[in-house]
Structure 1
């Protein structure tokens, strides 16, 4: 029996293609629908991926122009202002993943979920690189009994464009979010102007000037760890690998401070690293979420609910696949104060 396909809306873009390839690498017989605005382009990408069909998406139609054909799950790779993909998924009780909205744009999606909370699983995939930051931080957090501070520094290589859709997302978010959502002393505040200026050190120790960024990672990590201080900063520049004369990469610096399991102060720095850049790390998270939403791994599909990516993906499996792609969580340094 041929399984129902997964619909990739915006599957012709850079992230969509990489996500399709990531799914194909693990599930060679999984059928995919590559949805886009241009049928010829959709079919070209489908032929490239294999075991896939190119379709045109009509965001104004309740059925997206797909008629009554069956679909297993829906992933959206662009800013879906009409919530066309979510409406389609909710009407058919299908799991849904969207990765392009900013933290200020989630209200319509949350409202849709609240109206039909038992329809299907819905993942707010707006974490930086779709789970890479939060999973990395939570893995590193295992060394702590209490976490007081989490500081994230995302370095995007200036050669790591990610495609037109990614560029549109960044332009939209930078215009709409001049201030950065931050948790400070237990309160949520918005950093702006000089308060939003920041710096961090890359994997190779280079000092990087950065700026505050409103990522939903702040809210997710604060809720998961109880940390009273959480901030996210981002910078564009030269990645550590390229400074060594190697190809571009992406790196996420994770700084934690708190108490270890013996009650002693502890401060650590790690980096999530991927040699393929931000797009490939994003595709890893997308493919693993879709795997779980649809139950492709042989386990029960993710039940109805509203989720962060880190709640859906198995962390150990994520680390294993990250390493298989040449990535890793790199320990940088730590400060531990023992008993006097």
Structure 2
């Protein structure tokens, strides 16, 4: 199918390159616009991406400096405080996906949607690694008739840096919001101080010291499952794969408890693992979202609305693609 280019704002960074790689792995002929403030850097990155063109963006301009250039979707891969990408997407009536805001920063985007709900599809792509937690968790939650608690432990390998833009995002989030939004026994609260400290077991059983993290995954999973308690803890250290002498990986521990469909107590524990680390898993989520948003799979594009990634991503398609990339969802125990 003939399609206008997809604009990757900040596409010359680590996540942008991974997203481009993931998109072209699925659809090699899809054209990309790699946008940034530095034209030379954008052009250099585009030269490595197959059908791609580097462009300089002017975020103070309503058309981003692109003039009458056709664009099919906008992906924002860095903090966009002026919402330049969102304004552009709504003015063109094209999908918008942003992955770098914090849970406490989404009010301007929600307000933009509320004032123009029929303009375009807007995806709040701030879930951990763009659906890597929520999609498997909701798939696993189908084994439950009632979910009591979901505990998420994300382990980032200390050598999995992700590039300067990713580091800047984490510094920004940790500086502005050290407390962790958590659902505990039906009550929303902010964990701070000692209450925000946590320990979870990695894939290989090693105990990981972690800190509560305000990921939007918590809110989405709480509403989608009706869970009484949901918390997200983030730890950094040596990943289980590297601890046994292999390359680094990223892993997400999903601990779910409640009642099964016969009314019996059930607790499951799984690990979502990707051998390439956090960036390839993020890129995969972006590519699968774009596939659905613009209808690359032959289905109708996603209608205008405000979405979590898991509301768009098909779980079976996501898990199949994860397996193709060497990742997996590992069952640790079920009782």
| Same fold, TM-score > 0.5, yes or no | yes
Work out the CA distance in 1 between the residues paired with 2:120 and 2:110: 13
Which residue of structure 1 lines up, in the alignment, with residue 195 of structure 2?
195
Q: How far, CA to CA, are the matches of 2:91 and 2:18 in structure 1?
A: 28
Matches of 2:21 and 2:106, distance apart in 1? 28
TM-score of the superposed pair, with normalisation by structure 1 = 0.98
User: Which residue of 1 is the match for residue 31 of structure 2?
Assistant: 31
- 1:84-129 deviation line (CA, Å, top 9, x unaligned): 0000001111100000000000000010011100111100000000
CA shift for structure 1 position 50: 1.3
TM superposition score normalised by structure 2: 0.99
**Superposition deviation, residue 139 in structure 1:** 1.2
1:140 offset after TM fit, Å?
A: 1.1
Deviations 1:202-259 (Å, cap 9, x if unpaired)? 0000011111000000000001000010000000000000001000000000000000
CA RMSD of aligned residues (A): 0.7
Q: How does 1:40-55 map to 2 (within 5 A)?
A: 40-55=40-55
Q: Report the equivalent of 1:326.
A: 326
Matches within 5 A, 1:56-135: 56-135=56-135
CA distance in 1, matches of 2:263, 2:7: 49
Q: Which residue of 2 aligns with 1:166?
A: 166
Find the aligned partners of 2:76 and 2:129 in 1 and give their Cα distance.
Answer: 14
**Residue 209 of structure 1 aligns with which residue?**
209
Cα distance per residue 1:252-305 (max 9 Å; x no partner): 000000000110000110010000000010001011111111111110001111
Aligned to 1:151: 151
Per the alignment, in what secondary structure is the counterpart of residue 132 of structure 1?
coil
Equivalent residue, structure 2, for 1:338:
none
Mean CA deviation greater in 165-174 or 33-42: 33-42
Aligned to 1:5: 5
Structure 2 Cα separation of the partners of residues 114 and 186 of structure 1: 27
Listed one character per residue, the Cα deviations across residues 172-215 of structure 1 (whole Å, up to 9, x for unaligned) are 00011111000011111000001001010000000111110000
3-state SS in 2 of match to 1:135:
helix
Q: Distance in 2 between matches of 1:276 and 1:201?
A: 21
For the residues of structure 2 that align with 1:77 and 1:26, how far apart are their CA atoms? 20
Equivalent position of 2:304 in the other structure: 304
Tell me by how many angstroms 1:46 deviates.
1.1
Deviation at 1:142, TM superposition (A): 1.4
The 4+ residue runs of structure 1 with deviation greater than 6 A are none
* Partner residue in 1 for 2:243: 243
Aligned counterpart, 1:267: 267
* Aligned residue number for residue 14 of structure 1: 14
In the aligned structure 2, how far is the partner of 1:28 from the partner of 1:280? 17
Query: Deviation at 1:157?
Result: 0.1
Q: How far did 1:2 drift?
A: 3.9
In structure 2, distance between residues paired with 1:129 and 1:113? 23
**1:3 Cα deviation (Å)?**
1.9
Partners of 1:159 and 1:302 in 2: CA distance:
37
Query: Aligned partners of 2:201 and 2:227: how far apart in 1?
Result: 22
CA distance in 2, matches of 1:118, 1:198: 42
| In 2: Cα distance, 1:3 partner to 1:176 partner | 39
Any stretches of 5+ residues in structure 2 without a counterpart?
none
Stretches of structure 1 that go unaligned for 5 or more consecutive residues are 336-340
Q: Shift of residue 36 of structure 1?
A: 1.0
Aligned-partner Cα distance in 2 for 1:122–1:129: 17
Query: In 2, distance between residues paired with 1:189 and 1:108?
Result: 22
Q: How many residues align?
A: 335
SS in 2 for 1:262: coil
